[in-house]
Amino acid sequence: QVQLAESGGGLVQTGGSLRLSCAASGRTSTIRTMGWFRQAPGKERESVAALTWSGAWTYYADSVKGRFTISRDNALNTWYLQMNGLKPEDTAVYYCAASPWIERHLGHDYVRWGQGTQVTVSS
């Protein structure tokens, strides 16, 4: 199995930046696509960004394009979400997730999830 551990959330002002990290352990060879999702209070979980293990394919939600960047360090079995230009509407619990299939960005295609990390953007 794969275990995921997130870090890097926190409180930031509008326009600020944060970098989330997701460290994978266990059977990391089964990971084909890595993703970031978020869920705000009272809202459904939404896809934020995704990246294949090869790095050849990426996905970004329209709401974060140009502001967020997903990247990975395969040697460390870690992927990141660099978030710049943060807005109050980015406030949510952010989850990293791993999929055994390539080029997937929908939550039901992910089988392992981290515990979540809170990101709060103050206005």
Signed CA dihedral, 19, 87, 70, 100: sign only: positive
pLDDT at 55: 92
Tens digit of each residue's pLDDT, the chain (123 residues): 999 999 999 999 999 999 999 999 999 999 999 999 999 999 999 999 999 999 999 999 999 999 999 999 989 999 999 999 999 999 999 999 999 999 999 999 999 999 999 999 999
Q: Kindly give, in sequence order, each residue whose CB lies less than 8 Å from that of residue 66, ignoring residues fewer than 6 positions away.
A: 85
The residue whose two tokens read 């460290």 is: 23
Please, are residues 27 and 86 in contact by the beta-carbon 8 Å criterion?
no
